[in-house]
Structure 1
Amino acid sequence: MGETIKLKSGFDGFELGAYHVQPGDARRGGLVLIQEIFGVTDHIRELADSFADEGYEVIAPSLYDRLEPGFEADYSQEAVAKGVRYSQETPWDQVAGDLQAAVDALKPPVFVTGFCWGGAATWLAACRCTGLSAASAFYGRRISEQKDETPKVPIILHFGKTDASIPPVRIDEIAAAHPDIPIHMYDAGHGFVSDRRADYDADCARLARLRTLALFANNGGGRSSV
């Protein structure tokens, strides 16, 4: 359904790949969709396609291309270890520059969402990128590392109550630093949006998606009464 395009990073001029898909019907806006540690996988592409069905032109940048072009991991222990290592070797300033290139490639209004490591990158984009209208971050463990930065656009956060990888203290730190930001807690674990993960929860995934679409709709991406 989509195609591969190239983006020129505002960080260093590097050209990275991205999955790009046009909306299936009337356009509601643009959406930057940020990968998990596993890269731009079939799951990320399916999510992009599903948001396109909702009326969004979607770009999912391949943020590990400097380390391994087209990186796309499975869920094996070895792949997870590589994905974690790549996330640690990818500096936030670079990520911000790459994401700005994705935002700039889309006509407004432009939104951003991301999952796991991409959830933290979503927070980063909301704080540093220009041209965004709203953001929705899913189970971003490393958001707490950036809690001293303040989002410039409306943002909502989604976490699982039984997510062992994100201690409650990290969420409390974010809430204390930004008491005005909505934090939605779900009866689920980490990765509850992905049907490839053991913690997948269809009901929680649907509710979080509805909240995300309502946020986008109420900030320029159409009209909503949700």
Structure 2
Amino acid sequence: MTGTKTIATTSGDGQFNAYYAEPAGAPKAAIIVIQEIFGVNAGIRRKCDTLAAAGYLAVAPDLFHKIAPGIELDPDLPNEMQQALELMGRFNQDAGIRDIEATIRAIRDEHGADTRVGVVGYCLGGRLAFMTAARTDVDASVGYYGVGIDGLLVEKNAIARPVLLHIPEEDHFVDKAAQARMHDGLDDHPKVTLYDYPGEDHGFATEFGQRRSDASARLADERTMAFFAEHLG
């Protein structure tokens, strides 16, 4: 079952919508799907639906609710890509983490305080997944082609629960030097696993469109599902 629910902000001064995809039976755990810069679009909803089919409660909060509520953009359309980049420039990432934390709380309020919650994010969401691992009590975190993680390595010591990062080696938003810094900073971290994808570019695991690289997308998704099975159940 799918639908939209409203979540209260942590400050209590507002609310935002989230797409919910619920499994047929009782969920074995919950996973928050963190959007790219294109909003909670059809691809993000498909990610949620796939997780629900695997037995998880999947929730995608509208993190752009303060600047462009409900927006859905297509990265294959140049004008919409430009609009997405402009939204990224206006987006408050710290506020986004607070909204993710509010989503974690809402899930546990509804399903029980002991509910295990993971996050999986893409692009901007990959970066936010890393930040969520460092700043909240989320149980497991996965980031696909997160941008600027090498600039967040000062937060790595706060990571106490498992993290998985997927890194396309030809990412035109994350150059080889930045990738090397990620490996140098995280390869020896006991809670962090990095996978590299030779020849792949940013967005290779998208559900729809020109960016998808099917074989690598399926491999990354298989690794993600095995990771969640191990750490969430």
**DSSP-derived class of the 1:10 partner:** coil
Query: CA offsets, 1:89-144, max 9 Å, x none?
Result: 122220111000111122411000000111001111111112x1111100001222
- 1:144 aligned partner, one-letter code: D
Aligned to 2:93: 92
Q: TM-score if structure 1 supplies the norm length? A: 0.91
Distance, in Å, in 1 between the alignment partners of 2:165 and 2:209 is 20
Residue 186 in structure 1 maps to residue 187 in structure 2: no
Tell me the CA shift for residue 73 of structure 1.
Answer: 0.9
Superposed, 1:19-58 pairs within 5 Å as 19-58=19-58
Tell me the CA shift for residue 13 of structure 1.
Answer: 3.1
Instruction: Output the aligned Cα RMSD.
Output: 1.5
- 2:224 aligned partner, one-letter code: T
Matched-pair contact (CA < 8 Å) for 2:46–2:207: no
Tell me the CA shift for residue 15 of structure 1.
Answer: 0.8
Query: CA offsets, 1:11-53, max 9 Å, x none?
Result: 5633111101111345220000000100000111011000000
Aligned to 1:137: 143
| Bigger mean CA deviation after superposition, 189-198 or 48-57 | 189-198
Aligned to 1:205: 217
Task: State, as a whole percentage, how many aligned pairs show the same letter.
Answer: 28
| Bigger mean CA deviation after superposition, 191-200 or 101-110 | 191-200
Tell me the CA shift for residue 85 of structure 1.
Answer: 1.8
Matched-pair contact (CA < 8 Å) for 2:134–2:160: yes
Indicate the structure with greater helix content.
2
Superposed, 1:72-221 pairs within 5 Å as 72-75=72-75, 76-107=77-108, 108-130=115-137, 132-150=138-156, 151-179=159-187, 180=189, 181-187=192-198, 188-219=200-231, 221=232
Distance 1:113 1:11, change over 3 A: farther
| Bigger mean CA deviation after superposition, 61-70 or 186-195 | 186-195
**DSSP-derived class of the 1:216 partner:** helix
Distance 1:20 1:177, change over 3 A: same
Where do 5+ consecutive residues of structure 2 fail to align?
109-114
Distance, in Å, in 2 between the alignment partners of 1:144 and 1:194 is 23
